[in-house]
């Protein structure tokens, strides 16, 4: 150090070092570079206070967060912090379900040998996974490292004691939800059948509607309504009917809605029935409609129902009632044909009609906020609503998702509307087969049409459901389809579940449920993995 002219200013020392480096052989330069590189590296995240470091990492997507765990021990501790994974789950609306001290788990007994990825169906329904399948699946997805795989398993067998969970594991929750999403995309499911024609304790006629419902203790059931005038409550853990609600409706049960303490049913007998969802007792009958009630929906504040039409045959109606007394509130008369479906979200109501229109109403005043017409070529059969998005299914065999602030946007399965966000750029400037300019609107529409024809429904779209990132549709063509909510791309085509028409679909993060004719099918994407902590 004594021979180094430190009295020189920084600029002269820099020039001196550069001259010295130019005089060194290549192998010496490599060693010098290594030492200099180490001195230039600073672990800014590791040097930050824990609270500030966690705040910085909270902006990362989960793949980057997982990668951080491999940087250093300090980063691993930060990357595995529960608050980070909790924020990721909260941003997506994913909640941990509080359970009893022991997980209410049905652990699987043997490993399913293979999954037919094309059809999505495994082998026999009694072949199921061990809990090691979850760890294997997570490793394939890059969620779990070797150290974590060497940790004790969740459970060794179906007879072992249940795993004790003292507090929420948000990383596990995020991994599980992401794995479930991956299974949907890959078409990896087990198809179960709750009822077929002639099943004991089942419906004796066409099943028109269904509704998944979770009780406060976390137990989930399925309600179904039928042409046989009854409502059946199914225990999904055993696949059996545990309660029958009968002798109230005198016509077909066409619509069901369960929320909180109540179950509402609507029928062709022009009656809406309000039930106590726990006891099955009838609480109130709404008899204001003068034609069959096609759909009923409610939330904490109000109930909305719609009908084929009134006795004057001039206007079909939408009626609203206010909780807790369920006194009549509004009668909305604008549609010129049967109002086939309604949906409610906050202070807005959406109604869909056979007159090919969708109306958006102010639920407090009854003011008509928007009228959307001619976005289907035939009557609209189904609707779901999550402002500002509206999803509709129609007799024209197509779905349409649009933003009420921009009705010309969104997407449609119809080739007559090429989504503005759809990628239409050509792979090459000229089509090799016809010589046409592949970038032209006509060519883009043709390519879109050919693709959609292979994907779209071939009959009336009777039921739709709108999720956070997916849309579900059920059709008279006997299929159930899952679509990407943002782009309209087909994610999964669920076939083979129904020999005839599909009347209603429902879903949560682990399954899709559909009913039609005299059959109920469940498409289980959570097969073989622990999901008891996932709030449905």
Tell me the mean pLDDT per 10 residues along the chain, length 536: 68 86 89 82 86 91 88 92 91 83 36 34 33 50 42 32 63 94 94 84 95 93 98 93 97 98 98 97 97 97 90 74 96 93 97 95 96 90 96 96 82 71 35 39 52 81 96 97 95 92 97 94 94 91
Q: At what angle do helices 82-91 and 170-186 cross, to 10 degrees?
A: 40
**For position 81, what pLDDT does the model report?**
93
Q: Per-domain residue ranges for the chain?
A: 10-81, 82-188, 197-287+459-526, 290-414, 417-455
**For position 460, what pLDDT does the model report?**
97
Residue found by looking up tokens 């049960």 in the block: 253
**For position 218, what pLDDT does the model report?**
87
CATH topology of domain 10-81: Monooxygenase (1.20.1280)
pTM of the model: 0.78
Residues 129 and 528 sit within 8 Å (Cβ to Cβ): yes
Give the single-character DSSP code of 157. Answer: S
**Lateral strand order in the sheet of 220-226:** 207-214, 220-226, 231-235, 240-245
**For position 313, what pLDDT does the model report?**
54
CATH topology of domain 290-414: Methylamine Dehydrogenase; Chain H (2.130.10)
What gap in Å lies between CA 205 and CA 57, rounded to an integer? 56
Chain centre to alpha carbon of residue 369: 28
Residues 237 and 106 sit within 8 Å (Cβ to Cβ): yes
Same fold: 197-287+459-526 with 290-414: no
**For position 407, what pLDDT does the model report?**
66
**For position 302, what pLDDT does the model report?**
98
**For position 11, what pLDDT does the model report?**
86
Q: What is the dihedral of CA 509, 511, 515, 520, to 10 degrees?
A: -150
CATH code that applies to domain 197-287+459-526: 2.40.10.480
**For position 291, what pLDDT does the model report?**
93
Residue 129 contacts by C-beta under 8 Å, 6 or more apart in sequence? 108, 111, 112, 527, 528, 529
């Amino acid at each position: 150090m004594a021979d180094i002219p430190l009295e020189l200013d920084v600029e002269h020392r820099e020039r001196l070092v550069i001259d010295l480096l130019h005089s060194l052989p290549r192998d010496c330069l490599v060693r010098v570079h290594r030492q200099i590189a180490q001195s230039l590296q600073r672990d800014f995240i590791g040097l930050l206070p824990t609270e500030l470091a966690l705040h910085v990492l909270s902006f990362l997507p989960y793949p980057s967060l997982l990668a951080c765990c491999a940087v250093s021990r300090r980063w691993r501790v930060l990357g595995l912090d529960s608050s980070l994974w909790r924020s990721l789950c909260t941003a997506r609306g994913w909640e941990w379900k509080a359970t009893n001290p022991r997980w209410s788990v049905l652990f699987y007994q043997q490993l399913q040998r293979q999954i037919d990825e094309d059809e999505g169906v495994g082998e026999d329904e009694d072949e199921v996974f061990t809990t090691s399948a979850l760890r294997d699946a997570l490793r394939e997805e890059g969620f779990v490292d070797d150290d974590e795989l060497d940790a004790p398993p969740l459970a060794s067998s179906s007879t072992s004691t249940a795993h004790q969970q003292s507090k929420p594991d948000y990383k596990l929750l995020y991994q599980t939800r992401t794995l479930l999403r991956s299974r949907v995309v890959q078409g990896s499911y087990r198809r179960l059948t709750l009822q077929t024609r002639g099943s004991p304790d089942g419906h004796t006629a066409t099943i028109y509607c269904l509704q998944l419902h979770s009780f406060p203790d976390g137990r989930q059931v399925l309600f179904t309504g039928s042409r046989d005038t009854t409502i059946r409550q199914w225990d999904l853990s055993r696949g059996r009917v545990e309660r029958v609600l009968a002798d109230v409706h005198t016509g077909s049960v066409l619509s069901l809605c369960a929320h909180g303490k109540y179950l509402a049913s609507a029928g062709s007998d022009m009656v809406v029935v309000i039930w106590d969802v726990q006891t099955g007792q009838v609480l109130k009958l709404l008899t204001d409609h003068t034609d069959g009630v096609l759909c009923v929906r409610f939330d904490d504040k109000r109930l909305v129902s719609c009908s084929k039409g009134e006795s004057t045959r001039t206007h079909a109606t939408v009626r609203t009632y206010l909780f807790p007394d369920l006194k009549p509130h509004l009668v909305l008369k604008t549609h010129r044909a049967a109002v086939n479906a309604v949906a409610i979200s906050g202070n807005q109501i959406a109604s869909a009609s056979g007159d090919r229109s969708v109306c958006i109403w102010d639920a407090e005043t009854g003011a008509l906020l928007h009228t959307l017409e001619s976005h289907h070529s035939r009557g609209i059969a189904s609707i779901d609503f999550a402002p500002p998005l509206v999803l509709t299914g129609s007799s024209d065999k197509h779905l349409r998702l649009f933003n009420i602030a921009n009705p010309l946007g969104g997407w449609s399965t119809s080739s007559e509307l090429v989504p503005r966000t759809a990628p239409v750029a050509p792979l090459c400037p000229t089509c090799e087969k016809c010589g046409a300019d592949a970038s032209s609107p006509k060519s883009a529409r043709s390519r879109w049409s050919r693709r959609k024809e292979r994907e779209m429904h071939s009959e009336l779209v009777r039921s739709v459901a709108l999720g956070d990132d997916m849309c579900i549709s059920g059709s008279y063509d006997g299929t159930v389809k899952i679509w990407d909510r943002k782009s309209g791309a087909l994610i999964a085509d669920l076939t083979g579940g129904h020999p005839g028409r599909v009347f209603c679909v429902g879903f949560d993060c682990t399954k899709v449920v559909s009913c039609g004719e005299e059959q109920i099918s469940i498409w289980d994407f959570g097969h073989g993995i622990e999901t008891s902590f996932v709030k449905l």
